[in-house]
Chain A
Amino acid sequence: MANEEEVKYNAFLEKVKRTVFVDELTPLASKSVLESAFNQFGTVEDVILVPNYLGPKEIPMGVLVVMQTEEKAKAILDTLSQFPFMVAGIPRPVRAKPAKPEMFADRPKEPSRRVLCRWIDPNDPDFENAKKIKRLVQKHTAEAAFVLKNQLDEAEKLATKQSETATAHHKKFEMMYKLFHDGVAEKLANRYNINMRSFPYR
């Protein structure tokens, strides 16, 4: 029985090694889109969506991509740490990190571990300390939430900035496109004796 547990757990650890945690993903990316995206690196065995139970919902989606071999997983990590890789949208790239066992929602339990807990009496010398740690944990949670919110805000800011830039570019291109289309550019080129072929955006 214990053996069986161990075998199962080792198999799981091996799977973790073959897995890449990808986040900063758009929630609009479907499983099949993700699969085809990472199939470029090697055969994808499975894509597991990591649920976001605690919100806020603006947090980018994260997925676990299980590859067939450890090397392929490594290839993803290498490539994505060097080049921005975009899935189902531009320009925000995704981020890949090695997966950890805790990321799997349905992981098997560690073999031969028993969960023990006890209620501490207020008279216990540990009690005060435990209270302190509890307060600390609450503080830490609040800190993490604050940092997270900050990061979301920053992402929002960058997105706004970029979308403004993009809109400006778009307007510029649109104008040029129109000028080429209705022949004004050509007329001007003739007038000024410029070779239109050298213009790249035609």
Chain B
Amino acid sequence: MLKSNGGKVVPYFKWGVKKGVGRTNKNVQFFESFTYEGIEYRLFDCAYFFVDGQCETSIGKLVRMYETSTGEKLVKVMWFFRPSDIRSFLGGYEPQWDELFLACGDEEGVYNINNVDAIIGKCNVLCDSEDQRNPRPSRNDLRNANYVFSRTFDTKRRIISKHFPDGIAGIGVEKLFNKIRDKQPLKPPYPSGAASTRSSPVKSLYSGSGSTKLGRNDNRDGKLISRPIPDRSDPLHVKKNPLYTESTSRDLKTKTRAVEKLHASGSSLDPHPSKKRKLKRNTPERDVFDDSAPQPREQRLVRNPPLVEKAPSQNIDKNSWYKKLPFEEELKAAMVKGRWLLIENLEPSFTSLEVEDLCRQAFNERVNAKMIPSSNLSSPHIGRALVIFGTTKAADYAMSRLTEGCLMLSDQRPLVGSRTVPKDIGECRSFTGHFSLVRKGWMSFEKRKAVATSHCAQSNHIVCHMALQWFGLQRKSELILKRLFKQQAKEINNIKSKKYQETRR
């Protein structure tokens, strides 16, 4: 909820570097990054999105961020599909637990424009495709990734494909692959090192790549204009594009085979997996574009199979785990990584420790759990707990087991997992129903003392009259909630008693 308090701009949103203004509409400003709720998002980062009415969050790539003349902060998002979203089109394909599918095609649902406040948190999605254009992630990167994708899902033809088209929704495909952190491979006349290792095995596959290079330089301008959104894409990227398109579409097979061969021989296709990158991954605020040139010794070594085996109870953030941060802090970190879960329909009298015990029994996971303390506003029938798992995978696994399977407590209580995100948590600096201190003048006249001390209202005072209005509202809310909970109790009992009748029969 982006609300400006008294004309002040919302403090938890800040634009980063400005990229330019719109070509057709000069009032639209494009940016390269922004900070929202303390998290920095850059172009082509991935994020979790809140979708109204859905328990599961959606994951998308931020491909454009801009502010309209009316001050709306918008992001263009390219979506990933979860396997469950497209399960009827999977065919024989068995997705991995953490696999996503990039949307492509020109049908609806590939991308759309969203308000910034639909973003829940950052999501680390890596591309594990063997596509030539994709800088391969290191094994360590893969382990730290929340999700991976290696296939696209064509929304029009409804098929899963290994093949990545050269542009999706006007975005060059290079941008959708893993980020190229070093400028090296982008510089065309790079004599040695990464660039050559990268291109040399490929060169041999199709003749005349050298001449293509020249040609590219010649008609650079023409190519630029032919791109759907040339102002957005780096000209270097664009230049590269035609070369790869031609080859991929024609001899995709030969190429993939070549890649495999490379794997077998143990040489590296990828210039980037570097120690530097690994280090950065581990720090929470990682800088995605690294300008420094890569160290030659960093390009190495054995490429391992892309599948990363993961021990279920392995905890990546062991350090923070044992330090025992305050729960709020931990929750914040967990939300960014998506390794949390809200478990509902617990026995309300459960304690946090009991929930932890429960998760150990059910998922065989060590978790950090916190019962949500009940209040006048919460349902007396349902206990809820926030559970933080060691890894995103563990949380996802638990979530899917809870959704598909059924975990029953001893007293006929099936547990419900949910990821409906706690919305707008944080400090609220104003309070509905209290006069703000702006109206000090009024209070000096009335009773400034009233603010400093707590008191019961005097019956002859206007404040008393207003307070009584609030009193009335409180009573009304209480009654509404009471009725709601009563109705809900009835509904629950209905189902339960039906069951007993059935068993008796």
A21 to B492, CA, bound (A): 27
Highest count of chain B CB atoms <10 Å: which of A36, A136, A152: A136
Interface residues on B, range: 35 or more
Contacts of A86 in B (CB 8 A): 450, 454-457, 463, 467
A118 to B484, CA, bound (A): 30
Query: Do residues B372 and A115 form an inter-chain contact, with CB atoms below 8 A?
Result: no
Please tell me if A70 contacts chain B, counting CB pairs below 8 Å: no
Query: Do residues B426 and A57 form an inter-chain contact, with CB atoms below 8 A?
Result: yes
Highest count of chain A CB atoms <10 Å: which of B423, B424, B441, B477: B477
Total interface residues in chain A, CB < 8 Å: 89
Query: Do residues B469 and A158 form an inter-chain contact, with CB atoms below 8 A?
Result: yes
Query: Do residues B439 and A166 form an inter-chain contact, with CB atoms below 8 A?
Result: yes
Query: Do residues A53 and B370 form an inter-chain contact, with CB atoms below 8 A?
Result: yes
Contacts of B499 in A (CB 8 A): 126, 129
Contacts A57-B427, A109-B353, A133-B345 given; does A154 touch B484 at CB 8 Å: no
Q: Which residue of B lies closest to A64 (CB)?
A: B373
Query: Do residues A93 and B467 form an inter-chain contact, with CB atoms below 8 A?
Result: yes
Please tell me if B442 contacts chain A, counting CB pairs below 8 Å: yes
Query: Do residues A89 and B451 form an inter-chain contact, with CB atoms below 8 A?
Result: yes
Contacts A84-B457, A105-B352, A105-B371 given; does A156 touch B432 at CB 8 Å: yes
Query: Do residues B439 and A170 form an inter-chain contact, with CB atoms below 8 A?
Result: yes
Query: Do residues A118 and B423 form an inter-chain contact, with CB atoms below 8 A?
Result: no
Contacts A54-B425, A84-B471, A115-B361 given; does A129 touch B381 at CB 8 Å: no
Q: Which residue of A lies closest to B385 (CB)?
A: A53
Contacts of A126 in B (CB 8 A): 406, 408, 499
Q: A140-148, A182-190, A191-199: which one contacts chain B?
A: A140-148
Please tell me if A100 contacts chain B, counting CB pairs below 8 Å: yes
Please tell me if A131 contacts chain B, counting CB pairs below 8 Å: yes
Q: B177-185, B285-293, B409-417: which one contacts chain A?
A: B409-417
Q: Which residue of B lies closest to A146 (CB)?
A: B484
Please tell me if B473 contacts chain A, counting CB pairs below 8 Å: yes
Chain B nearest Cβ from A77, distance in angstroms:
13
Q: Which residue of A lies closest to B3 (CB)?
A: A58
Query: Do residues A92 and B408 form an inter-chain contact, with CB atoms below 8 A?
Result: no
Contact partner of B470 (CB less than 8 A), chosen from A33, A91, A100, is: A91
Query: Do residues B463 and A90 form an inter-chain contact, with CB atoms below 8 A?
Result: yes
Query: Do residues B378 and A144 form an inter-chain contact, with CB atoms below 8 A?
Result: yes
A23 to B470, CA, bound (A): 13
Query: Do residues B431 and A177 form an inter-chain contact, with CB atoms below 8 A?
Result: no
Contacts of A120 in B (CB 8 A): 405-408, 414
Chain A nearest Cβ from B421, distance in angstroms:
9
A91 to B439, CA, bound (A): 13
Query: Do residues A23 and B376 form an inter-chain contact, with CB atoms below 8 A?
Result: yes
Q: Which residue of A lies closest to B411 (CB)?
A: A116
Report the number of A-B residue pairs with Cβ-Cβ less than 8 Å: 271
Query: Do residues A36 and B454 form an inter-chain contact, with CB atoms below 8 A?
Result: yes
A37 to B207, CA, bound (A): 85
A131 to B402, CA, bound (A): 11
A113 to B373, CA, bound (A): 20
Contacts of A163 in B (CB 8 A): 435
Query: Do residues A140 and B474 form an inter-chain contact, with CB atoms below 8 A?
Result: no
Query: Do residues B376 and A117 form an inter-chain contact, with CB atoms below 8 A?
Result: no
Contact partner of B345 (CB less than 8 A), chosen from A33, A56, A89, A134, is: A134
Please tell me if A97 contacts chain B, counting CB pairs below 8 Å: yes
Chain B nearest Cβ from A148, distance in angstroms:
6
Query: Do residues B331 and A154 form an inter-chain contact, with CB atoms below 8 A?
Result: no
Query: Do residues A90 and B450 form an inter-chain contact, with CB atoms below 8 A?
Result: yes
Chain A nearest Cβ from B473, distance in angstroms:
6
Query: Do residues A136 and B491 form an inter-chain contact, with CB atoms below 8 A?
Result: yes
Contacts of B410 in A (CB 8 A): 116-117
Query: Do residues A169 and B433 form an inter-chain contact, with CB atoms below 8 A?
Result: no
Q: Which residue of A lies closest to B455 (CB)?
A: A86
Chain B nearest Cβ from A40, distance in angstroms:
7
Contacts A133-B495, A166-B442, A169-B462 given; does A155 touch B433 at CB 8 Å: yes
Please tell me if A107 contacts chain B, counting CB pairs below 8 Å: yes
Highest count of chain B CB atoms <10 Å: which of A83, A102, A115: A115
Contacts of A90 in B (CB 8 A): 434-435, 450-451, 463, 466-467
Contacts of B455 in A (CB 8 A): 85-86
A165 to B283, CA, bound (A): 53
Contact partner of B466 (CB less than 8 A), chosen from A26, A27, A91, A122, is: A91
Query: Do residues B469 and A62 form an inter-chain contact, with CB atoms below 8 A?
Result: no
Query: Do residues A137 and B345 form an inter-chain contact, with CB atoms below 8 A?
Result: yes
Please tell me if B260 contacts chain A, counting CB pairs below 8 Å: no
Contact partner of A21 (CB less than 8 A), chosen from B1, B376, B450, is: B376
Q: What is the interface of chain B, defined by CB distance below 8 A to chain A? A: 1, 55, 328, 331, 342, 344-345, 348-354, 357-358, 361-362, 370-379, 381-384, 386, 401, 405-410, 412-416, 418, 420, 422-429, 431-435, 439, 441-442, 445, 450-451, 453-457, 462-464, 466-471, 473-474, 477, 480-481, 484, 488, 491-492, 495-496, 498-499, 502-503
Q: What is the interface of chain A, defined by CB distance below 8 A to chain B? A: 21, 23-24, 26-28, 33, 36-37, 40, 50-60, 62, 79, 83-93, 95, 97, 100-105, 107-110, 113, 115-120, 122, 125-127, 129-134, 136-138, 140-141, 143-144, 147-148, 151-152, 154-156, 158-159, 162-163, 165-167, 169-170, 173-174, 177
Across the A-B interface, the 10 shortest Cβ-Cβ residue pairs: A92-B433, A89-B434, A84-B467, A37-B454, A91-B466, A26-B431, A130-B414, A170-B442, A102-B374, A120-B406
Known: A88-B434, A125-B502, A143-B484. 18 other contacts (CB 8 A): A27-B429, A37-B454, A54-B372, A54-B386, A55-B422, A86-B457, A91-B466, A102-B348, A115-B357, A116-B361, A116-B410, A118-B407, A120-B407, A120-B408, A132-B495, A140-B379, A143-B488, A162-B466
Could you list 25 A-B pairs, sorted by A, with CB under 8 Å?
A: A24-B470, A26-B434, A27-B431, A53-B386, A54-B386, A84-B464, A85-B454, A86-B457, A91-B435, A97-B376, A102-B348, A102-B349, A102-B371, A107-B351, A115-B358, A117-B408, A120-B406, A129-B498, A129-B499, A134-B414, A140-B381, A140-B491, A151-B477, A159-B432, A165-B466
